[in-house]
Amino acid sequence: MSAAIFIQDASEFETLRVNTALLVVDCTATWCGPCKVISPLIDQLAENYGDRAKVMKLDIDANKPIAKQFGLRSIPAVMFFKEGELVDTIIGVKSYEEFSATIDKHLLPASSTS
């Protein structure tokens, strides 16, 4: 497995969003210091969860309409989509455990959550 790769455009994002059971999108920018802090954590998520979730990165400067569509005002922002629906967003620098716990929560079968 390798690091999380960048989504190229809105069309690719939309295809991934509607066709992926669990999609994790790190919204980032080259000028964002805190984004650089979590980048290795996102790459680690991609490596550790690659068989169960798709972990991607999105440059918000190149994809402003997506950031606007989901009301992102701060980065880093990690969005979690389950079956195409936005189910969680984590804003700011957090620990690997916090990101992985959120993935784990959404990997659980729907019948076991209430």
Phi-psi region of 18 (alpha: psi -120 to 50; beta: other; left: phi over 0): alpha
**Strands (DSSP E) found in 1-114:** 5-6, 22-28, 54-59, 77-82, 85-91
User: Is 32 a catalytic site residue?
Assistant: yes
Residue 24, helix vs strand vs coil: strand
**List 7, 32, 45, 53, catalytic entry:** 32
Catalytic, out of 23, 35, 60, 67: 35
Which residues are designated catalytic? 32, 35
